[in-house]
Amino acid sequence: MEVLRSKNALCAYIERNREMGKKIGFAPTMGALHEGHLSLYEAARKENDLVISSIFVNPTQFNNSADLQKYPRTVEADIKLLESTGNIDAVYIPKEQDIYPNGLKSEKYDFDGLENEMEGKFRPGHFDGVGTVVEELFRQVQPDNAYFGEKDYQQLAIIKKMVEKKNLPVKIHGVPTLREDSGLARSSRNERLTPEQRKTAKIIHETLTQVNDWFRVVSIPEIKDRVNKIFEKTSGIVLEYFIIADEETLKETDFFYKDRNYRAFIAAFAGEVRLIDNKHLD
Ligand code: PAF
């Protein structure tokens, strides 16, 4: 596995492999790698000649500086893990300057309103930061296919929208969320949970599963009421939002239409750690 620690090293690597006609699969990350990331690489391995990952904690997508500071940084352990999988051909670890040569600023995007829902409401500017770094990484890595986890479903939808609107030559793939035994979605943030908080946090996935049982049987206002009550009764976790949204527009709905697909979304705080998860309703 090659470890590419600058844009120049990456460009030379990409040029070499493009000349040989290699098909490139790419999974960008912010490091603190866990099994959820490994499932992205497995998906990439099946469809590409080369699998490249990147590790870059992107400052412009954090609207809260404490969150940015506390984001786990474990690059050397990450490299060892990547090496041990045997699934990765190269990892790109850019410097800030490689991504933001003109200073830490994000582009303003119009994602047709997808950016105004959920995470967009609670984390202003977040998706402009995500769009900026992902677009720049796509331009540098030039992947044929790119892989993102469904845990960040809104991010996945927004990246698909960006690729469509900017006509970028890359196909975006969503990879199903990997879970701990308790059902808690795997996330780099889980590292910051105490054992007690980790136990409590399983309520997020349990609730989403419950909601799926109530789907189209119980009215949405009643479902919301029940979800609020579950969180009020559970100590150690605070619900930030629960919504049921149209899977395509991500607009919250108060009524189920027959021919539309829906997904339930939760964001909650376990102590200071913000966790998100979602579930397709079937
Ligand atoms: O999902 C993430 O880890 C990040 O948002 C991403 C896509 C790597 C952009 O920084």
Please indicate, yes or no, whether residues 120 and 67 belong to a single structural domain of this protein: yes
DSSP line for 71-105: S---HHHHHHHHHHHS--SEEE---HHHH-TT-S-
Which of 143, 175, 207 terminates a domain? The answer is 175
pLDDT 10s digits, 52-107:
999 999 999 998 899 899 998 999 999 999 999 999 999 999 999 999 999 999 99
Please indicate, yes or no, whether residues 213 and 81 belong to a single structural domain of this protein: no
- Tell me which of 109, 127, 130 to substitute to probe ligand 1's pocket, judged by most ligand atoms within 8 Å of the beta carbon: 130
Please indicate, yes or no, whether residues 75 and 141 belong to a single structural domain of this protein: yes
Selection from 114, 106, 7, 3 nearest residue 58 by Cα: 106
Q: Check: CB of residue 195 under 8 Å from CB of residue 271.
A: no
Please indicate, yes or no, whether residues 199 and 159 belong to a single structural domain of this protein: no
Is there an atom of ligand 1 within 6 Å of 141 CB? no
Residue 181 lies in a domain: no
Please indicate, yes or no, whether residues 8 and 141 belong to a single structural domain of this protein: yes
Query: 267: left (phi > 0), else alpha (psi -120 to 50), else beta?
Result: beta
Please indicate, yes or no, whether residues 171 and 47 belong to a single structural domain of this protein: yes
Question: What is the span of the domain harbouring residue 269?
Answer: 188-277
Is there an atom of ligand 1 within 6 Å of 129 CB? no
Q: What is the CATH number of the domain that holds 273?
A: 3.30.1300.10
pLDDT 10s digits, 175-213:
999 999 999 999 989 989 999 999 999 999 999 999 999
84 burial via Cβ count (<10 Å: 0-12, 13-18, 19+): exposed
Please indicate, yes or no, whether residues 77 and 131 belong to a single structural domain of this protein: yes
**Ligand 1 mean position to 128 CA, how many Å?**
12
Please indicate, yes or no, whether residues 167 and 32 belong to a single structural domain of this protein: yes
Residue 180 lies in a domain: no
Q: What is the CATH number of the domain that holds 14?
A: 3.40.50.620
State if pTM tops 0.85.
Answer: yes
- Which of ligand 1's atoms lies nearest the C-alpha of 29? 8
Is there an atom of ligand 1 within 6 Å of 168 CB? no
CA distance 118 to 252: 9
pLDDT 10s digits, 214-273:
998 999 999 999 999 999 999 999 999 999 999 999 999 999 998 999 999 999 999 999
205 included as an active-site residue: no
| Residue minimizing CA distance to atom 3 of ligand 1 | 29
- Tell me which of 26, 60, 61 to substitute to probe ligand 1's pocket, judged by most ligand atoms within 8 Å of the beta carbon: 61
Please indicate, yes or no, whether residues 9 and 143 belong to a single structural domain of this protein: yes
Radius of gyration over every alpha carbon of the chain, rounded to an integer in angstroms: 19
Please indicate, yes or no, whether residues 160 and 217 belong to a single structural domain of this protein: no
Strand runs labelled E in 73-183: 90-92, 145-149, 171-175
Please indicate, yes or no, whether residues 94 and 125 belong to a single structural domain of this protein: yes
Total domains in the chain come to: 2
Please indicate, yes or no, whether residues 140 and 16 belong to a single structural domain of this protein: yes
Q: Hey, CA dihedral for 212, 273, 61, 5, is it positive or negative?
A: negative
Which of 153, 175, 197 terminates a domain? The answer is 175
Residue 183 lies in a domain: no
